[in-house]
Chain A
Amino acid sequence: MTQELEWLEETPSQTAGPFVHIGCIPTFAGIAGVYPEDLGKSPINDGAAGECITITGSVFDGTGWALRDAMLESWQPDAKGYFAGQVDADPKVSGFCRFAADAGTGEYSLKTIKPGAATMRTGVHAPHISLWIVARGINIGLSTRVYFEDEYNDADPLLARIEQRHRVDTLIAKKVKTGEYRFDIHLQGDNETVFLDL
């Protein structure tokens, strides 16, 4: 016998299910009047510094079908790379957003400002937005990152860890036109997105 460790174990995740909208974005689900507005409606307030961008995409299952029931959350720093709560952070940037795949088309869209590169223990990380994806059939929320094709990504410490270099591309949003990017997420298949365990 030894002494006992005193750690607790993390509670197991369970799928968010098809009705996650009721709890997280009730107005989107047609439940009006309980809360004044849905949490995380926008990651920015008027006057946030930086380039306004829209990221559009879908979450595809292994058959190539766009999920209609996915809910996503994003978390990002401001245009200078500071997260809300850090000294010097832009007070107009909360950094958090919730959005859902459209029930008809499966497409999501995130309107925000482009984040700046952020200095961390592991070095300077290229501009990126963290995503967390939940849906029916996803038993534990999936984490990934959106980087941008028109930024310098070659020195990013996380992207550098990806052995199969062609998979780096799954984390890079493609520029459609000024201020508009496309970022599709593939849960399985040839283009399976790199999901993270950080």
Chain B
Amino acid sequence: MSSNNNTENDPLIPRNRANHPVVYDPEYKTSVTRSPKLPLLSMESTLSEETGPVFGHNLIGELDNNLISNFSQGAALAIGERIRVHGRILDERNRGVANTLVEVWQANAGGRYRHDRDKYFAPLDPNFGGCGRTMTDEHGYYEFMTIRPGAYPWPNRSNDWRPMHIHFSVFGSGFGQRLITQMYFEGDPLIKLCPITGTVKNQQQLDRLIAPLDMKGSRPMDYLAYKFDIVLRGRRQTQFENKPQGS
């Protein structure tokens, strides 16, 4: 971890919770006992939310952004449809978020995670771990290589399947910007059947989780591409700040 030389400790723009999934959704059964029932305590952000961990590009190893080869450390390639996922991390002011950490994880091509608690009988791929990470460049762009993850069944209602998806974790420059989300794939018919995607009730917002096929970003005879942009909370910037402490 390098030192934080970010001087932008401006207040965060309050989160519009209507842009997010509902916290309680009986169709997503686990949310029933895990959703707070009482209102959140809202107030203006403080330094605890406006500052956050900063990571350096030196954190990132050469293969970290290549899930096809990072598990075997280059010795062999993972099985599956080769894809490049790329996009931009932006803030609500439409500015690229530079030098921020993007982490991803996903199931293998058969829909199986490399995790003790995944009991699905689709086989593990000996050359696929399922994690990757990268940093955005100075304009907020990121990219990584992977294989298209398989859809998988999960215990919820009697026959629920997750659409193909990649989990994303993004930092921003303040701990209050922290976001975990999922990327879906254009055209997947399981998207509209899934109770987890269904927790996002605003259709326009849900559409923003679906990455379009990007033929111009693909490479002939090698890989297809999908584009996925993510918008984090922004910061309020004005000279007209009240100083309630009378300073």
Residues of A within 8 A of B (CB): 6-24, 26, 29-31, 33-36, 39-40, 61-63, 65, 67, 69, 73, 75-77, 83-86, 91, 94-96, 103, 118, 120-123, 125, 128, 130, 132, 134-143, 145, 157-158, 161-162, 187-188, 192-198
Provide 28 A-B residue pairs closer than 8 Å at the C-beta atoms, listed in order of the A residue: A10-B16, A11-B208, A12-B202, A13-B179, A15-B196, A19-B115, A22-B113, A31-B71, A34-B73, A35-B61, A35-B131, A62-B32, A84-B1, A84-B3, A85-B3, A96-B53, A118-B47, A120-B46, A120-B47, A123-B245, A137-B32, A139-B28, A140-B21, A188-B34, A188-B36, A195-B38, A197-B41, A198-B45
**Docked pose: A59 CA to B44 CA in angstroms:** 26
Main SS class of interface, B: loop
| Contact indicator A188/B44 (Cβ below 8 Å) | no
The 3 closest A-B CB pairs, nearest first, are A85-B4, A23-B105, A137-B30
B79: interface (CB < 8 Å): no
- The segment out of B135-143, B213-221, B226-234 that lies at the interface is B226-234
Question: Given A10-B92, A10-B232, A63-B33 in contact, is the A19-B41 Cβ separation under 8 Å?
Answer: no
Cβ of B169 within 8 Å of any chain A Cβ, yes or no, is yes
Q: B181, A14: Cβ atoms under 8 Å?
A: yes
Smallest CB separation, A35 vs chain B (Å): 7
Q: Give the number of chain B interface residues (Cβ < 8 Å).
A: 96
B182 — nearest CB in chain A belongs to which residue? A14
Known contacts A22-B131, A196-B40, A198-B42: A13-B104 contact under CB 8 Å: no
Any A CB within 8 A of the CB of B83: no
A194 shortest CB reach to chain B, Å: 5
**Complex contact A12–B208 (CB within 8 A):** yes
Residue of B nearest to A95 (CB): B53
Query: Provided the pairs A10-B19, A11-B208 are in contact, do residues A158 and B28 lie with their beta carbons within 8 angstroms?
Result: no
Contact call B4/A139, Cβ cutoff below 8 A: no
Closest CB-CB distance, B115 to chain A, in whole Å? 5
Interface centre among B5, B12, B34, by most chain A C-beta atoms within 10 angstroms, is: B34
Are the C-beta atoms of B47 and A83 separated by less than 8 Å?
Answer: yes
Q: How far is the CA of A127 from the CA of B230 in the complex (A)?
A: 33
B200 at interface, CB cutoff 8 A: yes
Do B31 and A137 touch across chains, with their CB atoms under 8 A apart?
A: yes
For the complex, give the distance between the alpha carbons of A36 and B40 in Å: 38
